[in-house]
Amino acid sequence: MSFASPQQRQAFIAGIPKAELHLHIEGSLEPEMMFALAQRNAVDIPFASADEVRKAYAFSNLQDFLDIYYQGMNVLRTEQDFYDLTMAYFKRIHADNAIHAEIFFDPQGHTGRGIAFSTAIDGILRAMDDAGSQLGITSQLIMCFLRHLSEEEAFATLEDAMPYLDRIAGVGLDSSELGHPPSKFSKVFAKAKTLGLKTVAHAGEEGPPEYIWEALDLLKIDRMDHGNRSLEDDGLIERLRDNQMALTVCPLSNLSLCVIDRLEDHPLKKMLDLGLCATMNSDDPSYFGGYLNDNYEATATALNLDKDHIVKLAKNSFRGSFLGEDAIEQSLQRIDDYVSEFDRKIG
Ligand code: HPA
Ligand code: ZN
């Protein structure tokens, strides 16, 4: 069904209960917080104002962005910094009616510059606990390995995580994709699986369909991050559809990193129409110009998404989550209740 007006669609998007499954917590560092933390920790940053920082956020590819992203996280020094960063994200998505989030962090982005693994994760976990008790948002944590580093370094990071295994839902793979195929990490992913961790990987954001096959067959992932380039391979489409493998799609990120030229060219609607389990996500919202609802809104406008598409995306965000079956069922019911109430109100 289509909406009577853009305002009605906006209201529907704003209120629908949803989950976010692809969010790098370090990518939610807003320029204002970057400045506040730089001052609090006496860290030099090469910008004079938050506006100047925003102006620097013009990227022509993934690596362009990553260079600035790793530089930005340099202001994160203490457990409290990680807490403040994470809590600010939860408060922001609470306003978007997100009720669940599965967030990434990049421990090697911190240990590599002398910040202890425990400093980062303790702050993030404390904010996750408070988001649960204060905002009613449930969350899980996924630890990513940086794929431009070696598999040996990923193993060392997995070792750092051992005391926290009961608080980590899974491992992921991010950073520079081209030249760093999933096969480089097959042993450490196998080890993570034996520890009972879920596995996800960025694949097919810039990398070719072969990387997506490797993520499926060698890393045996439970969920795929991005996956845009799956559409180049009919065999992949079939495999992803048959398994109902969730794809964590990030339209504003794809636009910012020039994976697509215009949002109107984004493959999300096609993915849904092909029966793939695509979900909507923000990736690095402070760098890519929008949080979860901004992604829904901009994409719905560009692709003329109707109500069924929005409902599908919101439902897929729970179906593709690592929540238990009961929690998924309850969330799907919440969406059905929301839709009934919305329809009743507009009569
Ligand atoms: N792609 C790969 N690595 C990343 C990203 C991304 O969009 N954001 C943070 N690390
Ligand atoms: Zn990402």
pTM of the model as a whole = 0.98
Nearest ligand to the CA of 23 is 2
Using CA atoms, how far residue 110 sits from 26, 41, 118, in Å, is 10, 15, 10
Walk across the sheet containing 138-146 and list its strands.
18-20, 98-105, 138-146, 170-174, 198-203, 223-226, 246-249, 277-280
**Catalytic entry in 20, 26, 205, 206:** 205
d(CA 337, CA 16) in angstroms, rounded, equals 10
Nearest C-alpha neighbor of 28 from the set 101, 129, 115: 101
How many angstroms separate the alpha carbon of residue 220 from the centre of ligand 1? 20
Q: How far is the CA of 66 from the centre of ligand 1 (A)?
A: 7
Q: Are β-strands 170-174 and 223-226 bridged in parallel, bridged antiparallel, or unpaired?
A: unpaired
Question: Does the Cβ of 202 fall within 6 Å of ligand 1?
Answer: yes
Question: 206, 174 in Cβ contact below 8 A?
Answer: no
Beta carbons of 173 and 205 less than 8 angstroms apart: no
Q: What is the pLDDT of residues 236-288, one digit of tens each?
A: 999 999 999 999 999 999 999 999 999 999 999 999 999 999 999 999 999 99
Three-class DSSP category at 225: strand
Nearest-CA residue for ligand 1 atom 2 is 175
pLDDT at site 127: 99
Task: Read off the pLDDT of residues 126-161 as tens digits, 9 standing for 90 and up.
Answer: 999 999 999 999 999 999 999 999 999 999 999 999
Nearest CA to 287 out of 85, 101, 23, 28 is that of 28
Q: Is 97 helix (H, G, I), strand (E, B) or coil?
A: coil
The distance of Cα 96 from the centroid of its chain, to the nearest Å, equals 15
Percent of the chain residues topping a pLDDT of 70:
100
Is 205 labeled as catalytic in the residue annotation? Answer: yes
| CA distances, 251 to each of 11, 215, 220 (Å) | 20, 21, 25
Helices (H), 16-144: 31-40, 50-56, 62-72, 79-94, 107-111, 117-130
Confidence band (pLDDT; 50, 70, 90) for 2?
A: confident
Q: What is the mean pLDDT of residues 187-215?
A: 98
Cα 5 to ligand 2 centre (Å):
32
pLDDT over 90 for what percent of the chain?
98
Structure tokens at 39: 């001052």
Q: Quick one: CA torsion of 59, 63, 64, 68, rounded to 10 degrees? A: 120
Predicted pLDDT of residue 347: 74
| Closest Cα to atom 10 of ligand 1 | 175
The one-letter code for the residue type at 284 is D
The pair of structure tokens assigned to 223 is 């969920």
Structure tokens given for 160: 């750092």
User: How many A from CA of 27 to the centre of ligand 1?
Assistant: 8
The whole-number average pLDDT for the span 179-197 is 98
pLDDT tens, 9-65? 999 999 999 999 999 999 999 999 999 999 999 999 999 999 999 999 999 999 999
Q: Are 12 and 90 in contact (CB under 8 A)?
A: no
Does the pLDDT of residue 223 top 90, yes or no? yes
Ligand 1, atom 4, lies closest to the CA of: 175
Q: Using CA atoms, how far apart are residues 189 and 172, in angstroms rounded to an integer?
A: 9
